[in-house]
Structure formats: structure tokens, C-alpha cells
Amino acid sequence: MRQPATILVVDDERAVRMMLEAALRAQGYKIQSAANGSAARDMIALEEFDLVLLDLQLGDSDGIEILRELKRDWPATEVILLTAHGSINSAISALRHGAFDYLLKPAQVNDIRERVERALEQRRTALQRTELLQRISDSARALGLIESGAPGTPAPVNNSDRIEVGPLLLDLRRHAASLGNQVMSLTRTEFALLTALAQQPDTALSYGTLSEAVYGRVQPEDEARALLRPHIARLRHKLESTGLGGIALVSIRSMGYMLQTE
């Protein structure tokens, strides 16, 4: 039996939040909610939702900025924006940054339910396509039609609680990272990605290898590259923003990425 879809409702109006929660819970969805952008960011950092209903005008945050951050961390999550202050420019901006749809408040419950189901159906279709491509890839490897590995395939996971690469220290038990004496704030995906790279410093790891380490499954190289790119960009920025040398996250053209020691 298919698991119920997980939906996060983000709106600073309590009445709107409660209405959306009740309407969607009645459809069998698993609902969580956040009353502001800060709470939404905390929840998104810890969990991947199937869909997020996001108010564009939050008291403490810009909905478009949250949309951009969400799509960086969870590119497969569908997002529907709600706002009482709609304009063609904001609608175009929302769609440009990856929103599935854009609705004006007060929206009718039936309209919201319909858009939610359409968004979830699009997500299911995309996931099914990925799974099909994965099965084809696995079958091809089993038949020897494509190589089963690539240079730089990671060694078995280190059982130690710590990984040290130059000034970089990863605490695997606490999921904490520091560079020199500076603590780094990383998402779960960024930490998993940095851990995979740190396990084999100065070794080029393919997009597929890194994707498997982060997401737990092998994906076609082009899809893996698209999934990893925004996380790599943010991780590289966080490493560079410390102002410390010693390590660098470098791109290997048409191959993948490497954590280079200096």
C-alpha cells in the first residue's frame, strides 16, 4: 500500500494554517505545519517533504527565498505558493524558481486539493521514471553492458566516529563539522556529501558515486550531476567563507568532484 504523502504547510495566519491542515488531512495526507519562515527552515533542514504549501508573504521571511533554499536542498519536492498579494511578476518569479503552481488567497478548498493532487502526481511520475532508469542501469551492469564501477569509487565507510582531513574535522556521531576552529552549519545532504568526499581526499569521485553515497541509490550520471550541483555550490561557498586554506572542493570536468588538500 502506498504511503501517504507528506505535506508541510507554511503560513503565518493561524486560521489559514488550520484550514489547510484539516482539508488536506481529510484527504489522507500526513501534515506538518510552520507558522513562520524560521520554523519552516528548521523543519526542511531535517526532513524531505513530498510537497510544501508556502505563503509568499511571511512575517519574518521572503517566500521566494525559502523556495530557492528548499529547491537547493530537496529538488524533487513540489511547492505550491499561496499569497494574498499576487502579481504577474511574483507568479513568474515563483515558477522560475521551481514552484509547481501559484494560487491567490483566499483559494477554494477544492482548488487547493486539486492542485495538490496534480503536484503529487507529477512527483510520483518523476520518481517512477528515476526508478525505471535505475532498474535499466542495474540490469545493464549485471549483463556487463556498462562498467560496474568508476575510478574513485569510495572505500567502505570508516567506522570511526571522526574523519580528519587537514583542518577539516567531521564528527560522524553528532553530524557536526568544523574547519579549523570554526563550526560549519551544514544541511543533512551537505554533511553526507562532505563525508563521502572526506573519506577519499585527493581522489576524484564520480557524480554517480557521490549520489549513491548521499541518496542511497545509484542514479544515471546526468541526473546525479543535476541533483548534486546546487549542494556542491552551497558546500563550496561555506568552505570558502571560513577564509581558511588547507582544503578545497574542486570540480573534475565531465567526471565529478574532489576534496583537494593543499
Residue 83 belongs to domain with CATH number: 3.40.50.2300
Q: Are 180 and 245 in contact (CB under 8 A)?
A: no
Q: 181-212: per-residue pLDDT in tens? A: 888 888 888 999 999 999 888 888 888 889 88
Write down the pLDDT at residue 34.
Answer: 94
Query: Of 77, 108, 127, at which residue does a domain stop?
Result: 127
Same domain, 20 and 116: yes
Determine, yes or no, domain membership for 149: no
What pLDDT is attached to residue 117? 93
Q: Same domain, yes or no, for 121 and 173?
A: no
Q: What's the mean pLDDT in 154-168?
A: 66
Q: Tens digits of per-residue pLDDT, 70-104?
A: 887 777 789 998 887 665 567 677 777 888 888 88
Same-domain check for residues 69 and 119: yes
Residue 107 lies in a domain: yes
- Residue 188 domain flag: yes
Here the CATH number for the domain that contains residue 252 is: 1.10.10.10
Cell numbers linked to 105: 488567497
Rounded Cα distance between 66 and 11, Å, is 12
Mean pLDDT check: name the lowest of 83-87, 173-177, 251-255, 258-262: 83-87
* pLDDT, the chain, mean: 81
Question: How many distinct structural domains can be found in the chain?
Answer: 2
Instruction: Give the span between the Cα atoms of 131 and 248, in whole angstroms.
Output: 33
pLDDT of residue 242: 80
Residues 108 and 11 grouped into a single domain: yes
Output the CA torsion sign for 82, 120, 116, 89.
positive
Same domain, 28 and 76: yes
Q: Are 21 and 96 in the same domain?
A: yes
Classify residue 70 as exposed, middle or buried by CB count within 10 Å of its CB (0-12, 13-18, 19+). buried
Based on the fold, state whether residues 19 and 123 are members of the same structural domain.
yes
Answer yes or no: is pLDDT of 56 > 60: yes
What residue numbers bound the domain in which 65 lies?
6-127
Q: What backbone phi and psi angles, to 5 degrees, belong to 59?
A: -60, -35
Residue 253: count other Cβ atoms within 10 Å of its Cβ: 6
Are residues 171 and 114 part of one domain? no
pLDDT tens track for 11-51: 988 999 999 999 999 999 999 999 999 999 888 877 778 99
CA dist 224 and 61 (Å) reads 31
Gyration radius of the chain over CA positions: 20
CA dihedral sign of residues 110, 111, 114, 120: negative
Are 228 and 178 within one domain?
yes
Is the pLDDT assigned to residue 218 strictly greater than 80?
no
Residues 104 and 168 both lie in one domain: no
Q: Looking at the domain assignment, is residue 225 inside a domain?
A: yes
Q: What is the pLDDT of residue 243?
A: 76
| Structural domain includes residue 156 | no
Name the percent of the chain lying above pLDDT 70: 84
The pLDDT of 128-134, averaged and rounded, is 65
pLDDT reported for residue 233: 85
DSSP state of 157: P
Are both 103 and 40 inside the same structural domain? yes
Same domain, 67 and 176: no
Quick one: pLDDT band at residue 135, thresholds 50, 70, 90? low
